[in-house]
A = this chain, B = another copy of it.
């Protein structure tokens, strides 16, 4: 089969036993397929066991807490979008990246979203007249790209998207940069551990025009500048002169907007922000200030995430321009940084208390006690009445549930219970009505 064309197959009632053709078109029967299956996930995506989901929830909770403090509200949409949404956007880099695209049964081409910006643009364009601009919107969508498995790169990641729509002035950039900085510090990173590098695409374009470059040279130079921080200075000079002539030197000074941003942050005591004329952020659609956040550790000096202003957002929908400033922050990159700096939290169970069933014949009474405590706000797990007391306590410990109460005949008869903190071995004996207050946080 010619490259680029693959068989799309789906399950349908009448073709039950014939439908699952593998690429060699060998029919596979249900009998064949009910042999032992692999327990691996699809290649390149992650399973989140409870301790993994805990970390994901921690990361997204910090993100949500910060952005909501700045007045941002959450939106979302499906992972499925019509393919033309991505094809139309100016920006060959995204379109060229491998996406998961296929044709549905109605012959429509559909794509698993590789980024969120086209979706939010579509949603805004759909209600442009009714929406109360300026808008402060955020989302934490999962995004997909088709990577070759050998590359060891993930095919699915979650990315915080933060966007401020409808403000033309530099205060939009100031706000969005403040949010980016605040998220990093909320994760526990110090100003020594990361740096915000800012640039201005208009500045770059003007510099190149002033240097006498034509549109083609400017375009090639932009691509080269985007790679500058990954090259040594001599290689960059040589390649830039190959494009623009032996006299060319790339040495732009900060624009007024850039200077203003740096001053505002410095005056607020934030010094880990600087001008870097090599920051381009690749995508053609950025129209003004752009920025990238870098990890400063020697072994890890790379861009973590970035953003900027992109005022042409709604052009592809035939709508008038809407000023927009925003950034995207991926979960994997952030997780790696937090791991590097030992900033990931230890697992804490959402369950407060484990009731060990020492009297299985009174299971209903014990379940009733559990429900009472739940009504008072506690998260309570019940032990397995078929297991010994010792095994149930070990179970609570393996689940990292911090506190147990062993409930047997005596406890039920006297309505008096001993609360045991597993980590310390500390025990407190209380009456039934006082159990819940043991867990009340100190005022």
Residues of A within 8 A of B (CB): 4-13, 15-16, 19-20, 22-23, 28, 30, 33-43, 45-50, 52-53, 56-57, 68-71, 73-88, 90, 92, 95-110, 122-123, 125-127, 132, 134, 136-137, 142, 144, 146, 148-149, 155-156, 166-169, 171, 174-175, 178, 264, 267-268, 316-318, 349-351, 354, 363-364, 367-368, 371, 374, 378-382, 384-386, 395, 398-399, 401
Query: In the complex, how many angstroms separate the beta carbon of A330 from the nearest chain B beta carbon?
Result: 15
Task: Given the known inter-chain contacts A33-B88, A126-B40, A146-B105, please indicate yes or no for A50 contacting B398, CB distance below 8 A.
Answer: no
Cβ contacts A to B, 5 pairs, < 8 Å: A39-B126, A39-B317, A105-B146, A105-B148, A132-B398
Give chain B residues whose Cβ lies under 8 Å from the Cβ of A76.
Answer: 47-48, 53, 56
Q: Do B4 and A12 have beta carbons less than 8 Å apart?
A: yes
Q: Are B53 and A12 neighbours in the complex by a CB distance under 8 Å?
A: no
Q: Kindly identify which residue among B73, B77, B81 contacts A50, using a CB–CB cutoff of 8 Å.
A: B73
Report the separation of the CA atoms of residues A46 and B79 in the bound assembly, to the nearest whole angstrom.
10
Q: Is the CB of A20 within 8 A of B378?
A: no
State A74–B379 Cα separation when bound (angstroms): 14
Instruction: Please tell me which one of the listed residues B88, B103, B381 contacts residue A7 in the complex, with CB atoms under 8 A apart.
Output: B103
Across the interface, name the chain B residue whose C-beta is closest to A366: B171
A230 to chain B, nearest CB (A): 20
- Residues of B within 8 Å of A37, CB to CB, are 84-85, 88, 122, 316-318
A43 to B104 alpha-carbon distance, docked (Å): 11
A101 near B10 with CB under 8 A, answer: yes
Which of B16, B34, B45, B108 is the one whose CB lies under 8 Å from A92?
B16
Given contacts A122-B37, A386-B169, contact A378 B78 (CB under 8 A): no
Contact A384-B103, Cβ < 8 Å, known A10-B98, A126-B39: no
What residue of chain B has the Cβ atom nearest to residue A20's Cβ? B87
CB contacts (< 8 Å) of A136 on chain B: these are 381
Whether B4 lies near A39 (C-beta < 8 A) is no
B351 touches A316 (CB 8 A): no
Contact between A316 and B87, CB atoms less than 8 A apart: no
Given contacts A69-B378, A126-B40, A364-B264, contact A100 B104 (CB under 8 A): yes
Flag if B84 contacts A33 (CB, 8 Å). yes
Given contacts A137-B50, A316-B34, A371-B178, contact A99 B11 (CB under 8 A): yes
Which 6 A-B residue pairs are closest in the complex by CB-CB distance? Answer: A71-B381, A45-B78, A36-B318, A39-B126, A6-B8, A102-B102
